[in-house]
Copies of this chain bind each other. A is one copy, B any other.
Amino acid sequence: MRIDNLQYANWSEKIFRQMSEGHVDAVHVTIAYHENFRETVLNIEQWNRWFEQFPQYIFHGRQATDVACARETGRTAIFFGLQTPNSIEDDIGLVEVLHTLGVRFMQLTYNNQSLLATGCYESQDTGITRMGKQVIREMNRVGLVVDMSHSADRSTIEAAEYSTRPIAITHANPYSWSAGLRNKKDSVIQAVVDNGGMLGFSLYPHHLDGKSDCTLENFCAMVADTAERFGVTSLGIGSDLCQDQPDSVVEWMRVGRWSKTIDYGEGSAAQAGFPPMPSWFRDNRDFPNIESGLLATGLSQTEVAGIMGGNWHRFYAENFVPQN
């Protein structure tokens, strides 16, 4: 089982073909950043057209069993996710509506304060809001996973504790390995893992030690170390692959419509665009490199299989269905 639990590529037949060439059984794709509900539905309509056009490569994944179906048919199951809660606007009823439309992960915040919680770029972290608590309960009820990848520390710890079902950090790395606002302190990872949650390792250069120059050995040593400290069954991949995206898209991610001035976030004025990916992870065909690298650290076949997809698969099975 091979699962990448976060990508936001400039989708094309080429990329869908590469997914199946890389034997990636499931990908959690971001379908919206700052889009409101109607705009998110337009993005879902675009995905429906891709499912119609490229059935030989992809189909809409809704439940864990779709991952096995993908493996059996040599295709990739596409699971929807949202990087901000803007898609539900201020309407809690949209949580169930979006789950019905296939959404399986939603971040309570992107980098900013949201209606629900605090993002990792704010100077003050006030934790989960009144609406945030209501929305977490509703997400728990319908089977929509709370994703805190871009959230601030206190908000993430509170979400892990308040949620009655496991939550996820779909794409980030330990702060102790590479200090950055988007990487996660040990106390945050511990809170997520203690409540049954998952951490997906990011391959996005700004999250890597040495950025684009990070070596495969360094990355895999960090994964092995994290497995030792937090337990190997709570770990997976969330590559944050943004393949073929024009630099205008990283600006959209960073400033959406909330600002009139550019905030370079993890980049800088001198390096405003997408950074180059590490040489050993360029696209969906390079997962075998990571697999080999992890085996070289001394992790067992079973442990590596869990990190490469088995752990996310178990998490999908437990968390995408409505609560009893």
In Å, the complex CA distance between A93 and B94 comes to 19
In Å, the complex CA distance between A91 and B44 comes to 13
**Complex contacts, A96 vs chain B, CB 8 Å:** 45, 48
In Å, the complex CA distance between A213 and B42 comes to 49
Report the interface size for chain A: residues with CB under 8 A from the other chain.
17
Main secondary structure of the interface of A (DSSP, over half): helix
In Å, the complex CA distance between A37 and B42 comes to 12
The answer, yes or no, to whether A101 is at the interface (CB within 8 Å) is yes
The answer, yes or no, to whether A238 is at the interface (CB within 8 Å) is no
Instruction: Contact check, B100 vs A45: say whether CB atoms are below 8 A apart.
Output: no
The answer, yes or no, to whether A130 is at the interface (CB within 8 Å) is no
Q: How far is the CB of A250 from chain B (nearest CB, A)?
A: 27
Q: How far is the CB of A59 from chain B (nearest CB, A)?
A: 12
Selected from B45, B46, B94, B97, the residue in CB contact (under 8 A) with A94 is B45
The answer, yes or no, to whether A314 is at the interface (CB within 8 Å) is no
**Complex contacts, A94 vs chain B, CB 8 Å:** 41, 45
**Complex contacts, A41 vs chain B, CB 8 Å:** 37, 94, 97
**Complex contacts, A97 vs chain B, CB 8 Å:** 41, 44-45, 48, 101
The answer, yes or no, to whether A205 is at the interface (CB within 8 Å) is no
What mask results when residues 86 to 113 of chain A are scored 1 for a CB within 8 Å of chain B, else 0? 0000010110110011100000000000
Within 8 A of B (CB), among A19-52: 37-38, 41-42, 44-46, 48-49
In Å, the complex CA distance between A101 and B101 comes to 7
Q: Which residue of B lies closest to A100 (CB)?
A: B101
Q: How far is the CB of A24 from chain B (nearest CB, A)?
A: 24
Q: Which residue of B lies closest to A142 (CB)?
A: B48
Q: Which residues of A contact B (CB under 8 A)?
A: 37-38, 41-42, 44-46, 48-49, 91, 93-94, 96-97, 100-102
Q: Apart from A45-B91, A45-B94, A45-B97, what 8 extra A-B contacts exist at CB < 8 Å?
A: A37-B38, A37-B41, A42-B91, A44-B97, A48-B93, A48-B97, A97-B101, A100-B101
| Cβ contacts A to B, 23 pairs, < 8 Å | A37-B38, A37-B41, A38-B38, A41-B94, A41-B97, A42-B91, A42-B93, A44-B97, A45-B91, A45-B93, A45-B94, A45-B96, A45-B97, A46-B93, A48-B93, A48-B96, A48-B97, A49-B93, A97-B101, A100-B100, A100-B101, A100-B102, A101-B101
